[in-house]
Structure formats: structure tokens, C-alpha cells
Structure 1
Amino acid sequence: MNIKPSAAIRKNYNEISTLCKETGEPVYLTKNGEGDLVVMDIGAFARRESMLRLRETLVAVEEDRLAGKKGFSIDDIDEMMKKAIKEVVDGQHK
């Protein structure tokens, strides 16, 4: 986990940008010793957002299944998974 004081973003923007890109991890910025902001590489953010959307979709499908709603065929699931994987992979190449 990378933690820096908020002043670091003003003084060392390029260093923090490089750190985010190289590690793929967010940098946590503090203000007066307390958590204030999180800075992360745009590619890592896009991947995280794609994974969250996938998780939301899977939870919704499971809730529907538990409620007795009609499910999806294997072909439907295969197509959804291919689409989700493509979104994540495409997000990594941006």
C-alpha cells in the first residue's frame, strides 16, 4: 500500500504518476494525517470498474435465480462471459 501526504501530489506529480502506472496500485493521499484522496492509473481504474460491473451482473443474476426467475442457457452465459472478459482485456490495453 502506497501512502503519501497530500503535498506530495503537488511536489511530485510525475513520481506518483509513475508509481501508479508501474505498480497498478492506488496511492493513498493523507491530509493532516488522515485519509483524504486516492489516486490511481486510469487503466487500473477502468479494469476495476469493469470487474465491479461484472460482479454486479453476477449478483443480480444470482438474486433472480434465488427468486425463481428464468435462468440463462449455457450459450447465453458463454456469450456474457466472453463479453465481460473482452471488456477487461480491452481496458488493460488502453
Structure 2
Amino acid sequence: MINIRPVSDMRNKFSEIEETVLKTGDPVFLTKNGYGSMVVMSIEQYAALTDDIELKLDEADRAADSADIRYSGDEMFKRVRGRIHGRKEL
């Protein structure tokens, strides 16, 4: 179940939020004035979300270091859009 709490609970009930995040492994969504403000999660949860991205970025850096071809931002986005829409633009 999604756990939504007011942002003031970070100040007033931090221990409860910490316990929820660490025991259940689920994030806690905080609201301010009825709107989403932030998400609190454990380091392990954060790592699970970002580790694969970090590995892919490292892989892309290594590929860029070994290639002589460079594309401008516009060229790169044109290539990505082409692939998304099924065209093979090189």
C-alpha cells in the first residue's frame, strides 16, 4: 500500500517514517499543501533504482572514449527519435 504523509511528519514523526522505510522497504511519499513534495526511501532502495543506470553510463563513457565519432546534441536526438519511430538513421 502506498504510504502518503504530510511533509510536517518529517519533523514531528521522523522515527516513524524511518522505521516504515527501513522495515517495509517501501518509500514514503510526502505532501505539502496537498501536493506531492518528495519521496523518502532507504539507501538500498535508491541504489536499486540507480545502480543499473550508473553501470550503463559508465559503459557509454567507455564506448565514447574508444570511438572517434562525435555527434552534436541535435544529431543525437535526431538519431534517437529515428530509432524510437522505427527508422534506422545513421
Q: TM-score, normalised by structure 2?
A: 0.56
TM superposition shift of 1:26 = 1.1
TM superposition shift of 1:25 = 1.4
TM superposition shift of 1:23 = 1.5
Larger radius of gyration: 2
Identity %: 38
Q: Which has the higher contact order (CA 8 A, sep 6+)?
A: 1
Structure 2, gaps ≥5 residues long: 61-79
1:18 counterpart SS class:
helix
- Residues 43-66 of structure 1, C-alpha deviation per residue, up to 9 Å, x if partnerless? 111121113345x46xx7xx8xx8
Spell out the pairing of 1:11-90 with structure 2 (5 A cutoff): 11-53=12-54, 56=56
TM superposition shift of 1:39 = 0.7
Bigger proportion of residues as helix: 1
CA distance in 2, matches of 1:28, 1:11: 15
| Structure 1 segments (4+ residues) deviating >4 Å | none
CA distance in 2, matches of 1:52, 1:18: 28
Structure 1, gaps ≥5 residues long: 68-94
The number of residues matched between the two structures is 62
Which residue does the alignment assign to 2:72?
A: none
Q: TM-score, normalised by structure 1?
A: 0.54
